[in-house]
A and B are shown apart, each in its own frame.
Chain A
Amino acid sequence: EVQLLESGGGLVQPGESLRLSCAASGFTFSDYAMTWVRQAPGKGLEWVSTISDSGTGTYSAGSVKGRFTISRDNSKNTLYLQMSSLRAEDTAIYYCAELRRFWSWGQGTLVTVSS
Protein backbone atom coordinates (compact mmCIF):
# COMPACT_ATOMS: atom_id res chain seq x y z
CA GLU A 1 0.00 0.00 0.00
CA VAL A 2 1.31 3.40 -1.01
CA GLN A 3 1.71 5.70 1.99
CA LEU A 4 2.90 9.28 2.28
CA LEU A 5 3.43 10.83 5.70
CA GLU A 6 4.20 14.53 6.05
CA SER A 7 5.84 16.11 9.07
CA GLY A 8 7.51 19.32 10.11
CA GLY A 9 4.59 21.75 10.14
CA GLY A 10 4.01 24.20 12.94
CA LEU A 11 3.63 27.82 13.98
CA VAL A 12 6.34 30.22 12.82
CA GLN A 13 6.70 33.98 12.65
CA PRO A 14 6.83 35.91 9.38
CA GLY A 15 10.31 35.82 7.88
CA GLU A 16 11.25 32.54 9.53
CA SER A 17 12.08 29.20 7.92
CA LEU A 18 10.68 25.69 8.15
CA ARG A 19 11.45 22.35 6.54
CA LEU A 20 8.73 19.87 5.71
CA SER A 21 9.39 16.19 5.16
CA CYS A 22 7.36 13.48 3.48
CA ALA A 23 8.20 9.84 4.14
CA ALA A 24 7.12 7.52 1.34
CA SER A 25 6.52 3.78 1.46
CA GLY A 26 4.83 1.05 -0.53
CA PHE A 27 6.36 1.93 -3.90
CA THR A 28 9.73 2.47 -5.54
CA PHE A 29 10.14 6.10 -4.54
CA SER A 30 13.07 6.78 -6.86
CA ASP A 31 10.96 5.93 -9.93
CA TYR A 32 8.47 8.75 -9.55
CA ALA A 33 8.28 12.52 -9.58
CA MET A 34 6.86 13.97 -6.38
CA THR A 35 4.83 17.08 -5.72
CA TRP A 36 3.85 19.48 -2.93
CA VAL A 37 0.33 20.97 -3.01
CA ARG A 38 -1.05 23.36 -0.42
CA GLN A 39 -4.46 24.48 0.73
CA ALA A 40 -5.02 27.69 2.67
CA PRO A 41 -7.79 27.55 5.31
CA GLY A 42 -11.16 27.39 3.60
CA LYS A 43 -9.60 27.77 0.15
CA GLY A 44 -8.88 25.62 -2.89
CA LEU A 45 -5.85 23.59 -3.89
CA GLU A 46 -2.64 25.25 -5.05
CA TRP A 47 0.28 23.46 -6.66
CA VAL A 48 3.55 24.44 -5.00
CA SER A 49 6.42 22.44 -6.46
CA THR A 50 7.38 19.22 -8.26
CA ILE A 51 10.67 17.35 -8.40
CA SER A 52 11.66 14.74 -10.97
CA ASP A 53 12.36 11.13 -10.02
CA SER A 54 16.12 11.65 -9.99
CA GLY A 55 15.90 15.06 -8.36
CA THR A 56 17.63 16.81 -11.23
CA GLY A 57 14.50 18.67 -12.36
CA THR A 58 12.53 21.00 -10.11
CA TYR A 59 9.56 23.24 -10.84
CA SER A 60 7.94 25.75 -8.53
CA ALA A 61 5.01 28.13 -8.47
CA GLY A 62 5.77 31.78 -8.97
CA SER A 63 4.38 32.56 -5.51
CA VAL A 64 7.14 30.54 -3.83
CA LYS A 65 9.99 30.74 -6.31
CA GLY A 66 13.17 31.93 -4.65
CA ARG A 67 11.78 31.19 -1.19
CA PHE A 68 10.88 27.46 -1.25
CA THR A 69 13.18 24.64 -2.36
CA ILE A 70 11.99 21.13 -3.12
CA SER A 71 14.44 18.25 -2.77
CA ARG A 72 14.49 14.51 -2.20
CA ASP A 73 16.68 11.79 -0.75
CA ASN A 74 15.97 8.62 -2.68
CA SER A 75 18.13 6.58 -0.27
CA LYS A 76 15.74 7.58 2.51
CA ASN A 77 12.51 7.57 0.46
CA THR A 78 11.91 11.10 1.65
CA LEU A 79 10.71 14.29 -0.01
CA TYR A 80 11.47 17.72 1.45
CA LEU A 81 10.25 21.28 1.16
CA GLN A 82 12.57 23.91 2.58
CA MET A 83 10.57 27.09 3.15
CA SER A 84 12.21 30.41 3.95
CA SER A 85 11.08 34.02 4.25
CA LEU A 86 7.66 32.73 5.22
CA ARG A 87 4.66 35.03 4.89
CA ALA A 88 1.19 35.03 6.38
CA GLU A 89 -0.17 33.96 2.98
CA ASP A 90 1.89 30.76 3.15
CA THR A 91 -0.38 29.55 5.96
CA ALA A 92 -1.87 26.31 4.68
CA ILE A 93 -2.03 22.57 4.92
CA TYR A 94 0.84 21.19 2.84
CA TYR A 95 0.28 17.86 1.12
CA CYS A 96 2.88 15.73 -0.58
CA ALA A 97 1.58 13.69 -3.48
CA GLU A 98 2.50 11.39 -6.34
CA LEU A 99 0.44 12.59 -9.29
CA ARG A 100 1.13 10.28 -12.22
CA ARG A 101 0.92 6.62 -11.30
CA PHE A 102 -0.55 6.13 -7.83
CA TRP A 103 -2.24 9.49 -7.32
CA SER A 104 -1.57 9.14 -3.63
CA TRP A 105 -1.75 12.03 -1.15
CA GLY A 106 -0.55 12.31 2.39
CA GLN A 107 -2.78 13.57 5.19
CA GLY A 108 -1.02 16.92 5.16
CA THR A 109 0.87 19.02 7.67
CA LEU A 110 -0.33 22.44 8.82
CA VAL A 111 1.96 25.44 8.53
CA THR A 112 0.83 28.60 10.30
CA VAL A 113 2.72 31.83 9.76
CA SER A 114 1.70 34.43 12.29
CA SER A 115 3.23 36.90 14.72
Chain B
Amino acid sequence: DIVMTQTPLSSPVTLGQPASISCRSSQGLVHSDGNPYLSWLLQRPGQPPRLLIYKISDRFSGVPDRFSGSGAGTEFTLKISRVEAEDVGVYYCMQSTQFPYTFGQGTKLEIK
Protein backbone atom coordinates (compact mmCIF):
# COMPACT_ATOMS: atom_id res chain seq x y z
CA ASP B 1 0.00 0.00 0.00
CA ILE B 2 1.10 3.58 -0.67
CA VAL B 3 1.60 5.44 2.60
CA MET B 4 0.84 9.16 2.61
CA THR B 5 2.59 11.21 5.30
CA GLN B 6 1.53 14.79 5.99
CA THR B 7 3.38 17.47 7.92
CA PRO B 8 2.60 19.32 10.04
CA LEU B 9 -0.41 17.71 11.71
CA SER B 10 -1.44 21.05 13.16
CA SER B 11 -0.86 24.53 11.79
CA PRO B 12 -1.81 27.70 13.66
CA VAL B 13 -1.79 30.58 11.21
CA THR B 14 -2.46 34.31 11.41
CA LEU B 15 -5.17 35.65 9.13
CA GLY B 16 -3.68 37.07 5.96
CA GLN B 17 -0.46 35.09 6.32
CA PRO B 18 0.62 32.19 4.11
CA ALA B 19 0.36 28.54 5.06
CA SER B 20 1.97 25.43 3.67
CA ILE B 21 1.30 21.71 4.12
CA SER B 22 3.57 18.92 2.91
CA CYS B 23 2.67 15.42 1.84
CA ARG B 24 5.07 12.61 1.07
CA SER B 25 4.11 9.38 -0.64
CA SER B 26 5.97 6.11 -0.11
CA GLN B 27 6.20 5.61 -3.87
CA GLY B 28 5.60 7.51 -7.08
CA LEU B 29 2.03 8.37 -8.03
CA VAL B 30 2.03 8.31 -11.82
CA HIS B 31 -0.82 6.14 -13.08
CA SER B 32 -0.49 3.89 -16.11
CA ASP B 33 -2.50 6.53 -18.00
CA GLY B 34 0.30 9.02 -17.35
CA ASN B 35 -1.53 11.12 -14.77
CA PRO B 36 -0.43 11.60 -11.15
CA TYR B 37 -3.54 11.23 -9.03
CA LEU B 38 -2.50 13.29 -6.02
CA SER B 39 -5.26 15.46 -4.62
CA TRP B 40 -5.82 17.86 -1.75
CA LEU B 41 -9.11 17.96 0.14
CA LEU B 42 -10.48 20.28 2.79
CA GLN B 43 -12.96 19.09 5.38
CA ARG B 44 -14.67 21.78 7.40
CA PRO B 45 -16.23 20.76 10.74
CA GLY B 46 -19.41 18.76 10.27
CA GLN B 47 -19.10 18.66 6.49
CA PRO B 48 -17.94 16.12 3.91
CA PRO B 49 -14.56 16.71 2.30
CA ARG B 50 -14.35 18.90 -0.76
CA LEU B 51 -11.72 18.88 -3.48
CA LEU B 52 -9.27 21.76 -3.74
CA ILE B 53 -6.49 20.47 -6.00
CA TYR B 54 -6.25 17.44 -8.25
CA LYS B 55 -3.39 15.93 -10.27
CA ILE B 56 -0.88 17.71 -8.02
CA SER B 57 -1.51 21.27 -9.21
CA ASP B 58 -4.86 21.63 -11.00
CA ARG B 59 -7.24 23.84 -9.06
CA PHE B 60 -10.79 22.48 -8.97
CA SER B 61 -13.70 24.54 -10.22
CA GLY B 62 -14.65 27.33 -7.82
CA VAL B 63 -11.55 27.02 -5.64
CA PRO B 64 -9.99 30.42 -4.87
CA ASP B 65 -6.65 31.10 -6.52
CA ARG B 66 -4.99 31.59 -3.14
CA PHE B 67 -4.77 27.78 -3.08
CA SER B 68 -2.00 26.16 -5.10
CA GLY B 69 -0.45 22.74 -5.34
CA SER B 70 3.00 21.68 -6.43
CA GLY B 71 5.43 18.83 -6.31
CA ALA B 72 6.71 15.81 -8.16
CA GLY B 73 7.89 12.31 -7.50
CA THR B 74 7.01 11.63 -3.90
CA GLU B 75 6.99 15.16 -2.41
CA PHE B 76 3.96 17.43 -2.68
CA THR B 77 2.90 20.75 -1.19
CA LEU B 78 -0.31 22.68 -0.73
CA LYS B 79 0.09 26.42 -0.26
CA ILE B 80 -2.39 29.05 0.80
CA SER B 81 -1.09 32.47 -0.13
CA ARG B 82 -3.18 34.41 2.40
CA VAL B 83 -5.23 32.49 4.93
CA GLU B 84 -8.84 33.52 5.40
CA ALA B 85 -11.21 32.55 8.20
CA GLU B 86 -13.13 30.15 5.92
CA ASP B 87 -9.95 28.12 5.33
CA VAL B 88 -10.15 26.61 8.82
CA GLY B 89 -10.55 22.84 8.81
CA VAL B 90 -8.61 19.66 8.19
CA TYR B 91 -6.64 19.24 4.99
CA TYR B 92 -5.95 15.81 3.53
CA CYS B 93 -3.74 14.69 0.70
CA MET B 94 -4.97 11.62 -1.11
CA GLN B 95 -3.60 9.29 -3.75
CA SER B 96 -6.04 7.62 -6.14
CA THR B 97 -3.41 6.21 -8.47
CA GLN B 98 -3.37 2.72 -7.05
CA PHE B 99 -5.72 0.60 -4.93
CA PRO B 100 -6.06 0.82 -2.02
CA TYR B 101 -6.55 4.57 -2.28
CA THR B 102 -4.89 6.20 0.72
CA PHE B 103 -5.08 9.47 2.61
CA GLY B 104 -2.65 11.43 4.70
CA GLN B 105 -3.40 11.70 8.41
CA GLY B 106 -4.83 15.19 8.00
CA THR B 107 -3.51 18.64 8.92
CA LYS B 108 -5.66 20.82 11.13
CA LEU B 109 -5.46 24.47 10.11
CA GLU B 110 -6.53 26.88 12.79
CA ILE B 111 -6.33 30.62 13.28
CA LYS B 112 -3.96 31.96 15.92
Residues in chain A within 8 A of chain B (CB atoms): 35, 44-47, 50, 59, 61-62, 95, 99-100, 103, 105-108
B100 touches A59 (CB 8 A): yes
Residues in chain B within 8 A of chain A (CB atoms): 39, 41, 43, 48-51, 54, 60, 90, 92, 94, 96, 99-106
Given contacts A45-B41, A108-B48, 5 further A-B pairs with CB under 8 A are: A44-B104, A47-B101, A47-B102, A59-B100, A105-B49
Given A44-B105, A44-B106, A45-B94, A105:B99 Cβ within 8 A: no
From A35, A45, A50, B103 is in contact (CB under 8 Å) with A45
What 3 pairs between A and B have smallest CB-CB spacing? A103-B51, A105-B48, A47-B101
A35 touches B54 (CB 8 A): no
From A45, A50, A59, A62, B49 is in contact (CB under 8 Å) with A45
Most central of B54, B60, B99 by chain A CB within 10 Å? B99
Task: Give Cα distance in the complex from A108 to B11, angstroms.
Answer: 27
**What is the CB-to-nearest-CB distance from B101 to chain A, in angstroms, rounded to a whole number?**
4
B99 touches A103 (CB 8 A): no
Given A107-B48, A108-B48, A99:B106 Cβ within 8 A: no
